[in-house]
Amino acid sequence: MTQFSIKRRQLLAGIAAFSALPAVGLSSTSVFAQAAAPVAGGILKISHSTRVASLCIMQTSGAAEYLIGDMLYSGLTRMGMDMAPMPDLATEWSADTEAKVFTFKLRPGVTFHDGSPFTSKDVVATYQAILKPETASPARSVLNGIADIAAPDELTVVITLKNSYADFPLALTHPNARIFSAKALAGPIEALATQANGTGPFKQKTYDSARLTTLVKNEAYYADKKPYLDGVELHYFPDLAAETSNYLSGATDAMLEVQQADFARIAAAKGSKGQRVPSGRFVNIVMRADQKPFDDIRVRQAMAMAVDRQTLVDIVLEGLGVPAADTNISKQYRFFADVPETTYDPVASKKLLAEAGYPNGIKIPLVCSNRPAIRSQVGIAVKEMAAAAGFDIEVQTIPHDTYLANVWRKGNFYVGYWGMQTNEDAALTLLFTSDAAFADTAWNNKTFDGLVAKGRTELDPEKRKAIYAEAQQLMAKEKPSVLPMFQDVLTASRDVVQNWTCHPMSKNFYVEDVWLKRA
């Protein structure tokens, strides 16, 4: 099953409708048209190449950890393949006219894996835990717009925000914002790293972070007849050659992430199918706008013209991606605006550099962390391309922690790597607004900040579309960073596996929909 585009599904007319107005209580909707009826039974074996260091989904951020968290825990809402929130533990939600007070109706009859009932107090306890700085949860940035959480009865939660935010239910799909039981949170949080107790479709059976984690079907899962699988095994292979060999020989049924270099071979292998999921995952080249030489917008534009985007996609991504126009809003986002891409023009770039006062080009080091390897691959490729425009780039690859300690948010020219975010607001406030959580471009553009703030509180979808379009055009013109391409998310599964897929954000996998077709 190869997907080259994501179809948009609108449950109700009007885009604002499915964020702020009640979503009728559907159980987790299957986004696949079933050709045959699903058959229950079987164990799915998935291989992964990054360690599962902890089962506590509130704190983790590794690829395999998202997968496990998605299977063990549920949130109030869940991200759908069309970038809209689906009901999960909340069956419906509504907002006041200002989109400041949100009321969530919770699903009745849900129990945690240990049998205890799920009620509104678990939601309150979870969100309060996330808001504590010592929990160090990545979801904190999403929840700290909350002014108050109340639980008027066992199946209702009322959340009041400090400011209007139409997309709040969407923001709650954050993978780290899954619900834990109040009882578990009363104890030490370290215990949750090895003991999972959630409401998800699968329960923890064994956990050995060094090689294998096994999960079993949660018989009490709220969705009727799901999950189909009896259990799931996650096999850890730190070396890609071994992981690939095991998958191709049939010892495992699915590979969580496939590298670009191997994808064609794996997709073409007998009994195996590869999947390309276009996504907003990107590599960007940060050009610090308050230091020389990038304080001059002409130099930034020259750099952008010195990169051949399609060739970059072809040689670094093996064609498994799309060129980008220096904004981090990809086609999958609802308010994506088709901004013209900067074409590769080394001659014009050279001229622009000369105009900016660099007739002999610029000699500058480009720092790349060594994790993941794609950073230095992009660095090397950009070095070669930009040479024709007069940029003499020296690629410096350094260890990830040195990069985090000494270069990130401090250096003036380095390669960043970020995944896709839940919505435009999250994406733009991640890096590019003046008060962004991880701001590192020092662009500090007041107009842009204003646009993003307006887009967040605006309720009318048409107006939001226009606002975000303007924001994207501004980014594309002023180029706080060179963002040359979006990377497809790549995964693979054997033919016997039905409905294995991965959301473009790589944080949801809908494993309750997966079944094994035995001949």
Region from 79-87, 129-137, 350-358, 499-507 binding other proteins, contact rule CB under 8 A: 129-137
Contacts of 333 (CB under 8 A, 6+ apart): 83, 280, 423, 424, 427
241 binds other proteins (CB under 8 A): yes
Supply the DSSP string of 308-348, one letter for each residue. -HHHHHHHHSTT-EEE--S-S--TTSTT---PPPPP--HHH
261 binds other proteins (CB under 8 A): yes
- Each residue 408-447 as x (binds other proteins by CB under 8 A) or -, in order, gives x---------x------------------xx---------
251 binds other proteins (CB under 8 A): yes
CB of 222 or CB of 236, closer to other proteins: 236
CB of 274 to other proteins, least distance (A): 15
Distance between CA atoms of 446 and 433, rounded to whole angstroms?
A: 8
Distance between CA atoms of 141 and 57, rounded to whole angstroms?
A: 16
Supply the DSSP string of 118-136, one letter for each residue. P-HHHHHHHHHHHHSGGG-
238 binds other proteins (CB under 8 A): yes
| Site for other proteins, residues 136 to 175, rule: CB under 8 A | 136, 138, 140-141
CA angle 431, 437, 441 (to 5 degrees): 35
**CA dist 104 to 24, 69, 145, 456, Å?**
12, 22, 17, 20
Region from 81-89, 158-166, 232-240, 330-338 binding other proteins, contact rule CB under 8 A: 232-240
Contacts of 242 (CB under 8 A, 6+ apart): none
CB of 193 to other proteins, least distance (A): 4
Selected from 225, 249, 360, 446, the binder of other proteins by CB under 8 A is: 249
347 binds other proteins (CB under 8 A): no
Distance between CA atoms of 193 and 408, rounded to whole angstroms?
A: 28
245 binds other proteins (CB under 8 A): yes
CB of 435 to other proteins, least distance (A): 12
Element (H, E) at 151: strand 146-153
Region from 114-122, 234-242, 319-327, 352-360 binding other proteins, contact rule CB under 8 A: 234-242
| Site for other proteins, residues 277 to 336, rule: CB under 8 A | 311, 314-315
479 binds other proteins (CB under 8 A): no
CB of 132 to other proteins, least distance (A): 8
Contacts of 27 (CB under 8 A, 6+ apart): 87, 222, 223, 224
**CA dist 459 to 83, 84, 456, Å?**
17, 16, 8
Phi first, then psi, for residue 502 (nearest 5°) are: -140, 135
| Site for other proteins, residues 69 to 98, rule: CB under 8 A | none
Distance between CA atoms of 447 and 471, rounded to whole angstroms?
A: 9
128 binds other proteins (CB under 8 A): no
Region from 27-35, 71-79, 277-285, 403-411 binding other proteins, contact rule CB under 8 A: 403-411
208 binds other proteins (CB under 8 A): yes
| Site for other proteins, residues 36 to 65, rule: CB under 8 A | 51, 53-54, 56, 61
Element (H, E) at 262: helix 260-268
CB of 234 to other proteins, least distance (A): 12
187 binds other proteins (CB under 8 A): no
**CA dist 232 to 43, 251, 452, 508, Å?**
5, 14, 42, 15
Contacts of 450 (CB under 8 A, 6+ apart): none
Q: How many residues bind other proteins (CB under 8 A)?
A: 66
Nearest of 155, 214, 79 to residue 508 by alpha carbon: 79
103 binds other proteins (CB under 8 A): no
CB of 251 to other proteins, least distance (A): 7
CB of 330 to other proteins, least distance (A): 19
Specify whether the CB–CB gap between 464 and 244 falls below 8 A. Answer: no
Question: Hey, what are 94's tokens?
Answer: 């509504």
CB of 117 or CB of 187, closer to other proteins: 187
CB of 160 or CB of 194, closer to other proteins: 194
- Chain Cα centroid distance, residue 256: 15
Question: Three-state SS for 479?
Answer: coil
Phi first, then psi, for residue 344 (nearest 5°) are: -75, 115
For the chain, the farthest-separated pair of C-alpha atoms sits apart, in whole angstroms, at 72
Contacts of 50 (CB under 8 A, 6+ apart): 62, 63, 64
CB of 224 or CB of 435, closer to other proteins: 435
Sign of CA dihedral 179, 181, 186, 188: negative
CB of 381 to other proteins, least distance (A): 7
Region from 89-97, 370-378, 455-463, 496-504 binding other proteins, contact rule CB under 8 A: 370-378
268 binds other proteins (CB under 8 A): no
Region from 4-12, 245-253, 281-289, 454-462 binding other proteins, contact rule CB under 8 A: 245-253
- Each residue 372-401 as x (binds other proteins by CB under 8 A) or -, in order, gives -x--xx-xxx-xx----------xxxxxxx
Selected from 239, 446, 518, 519, the binder of other proteins by CB under 8 A is: 239
Selected from 31, 193, 356, 388, the binder of other proteins by CB under 8 A is: 193
Sign of CA dihedral 318, 324, 328, 332: negative
214 binds other proteins (CB under 8 A): no
In the complex, which residues of this chain contact other proteins (CB under 8 A)?
51, 53-54, 56, 61, 133-134, 136, 138, 140-141, 190, 193-194, 208-211, 235-246, 248-249, 251, 259, 261-262, 265, 269, 311, 314-315, 368, 370, 373, 376-377, 379-381, 383-384, 395-402, 404-406, 408, 418, 437-438
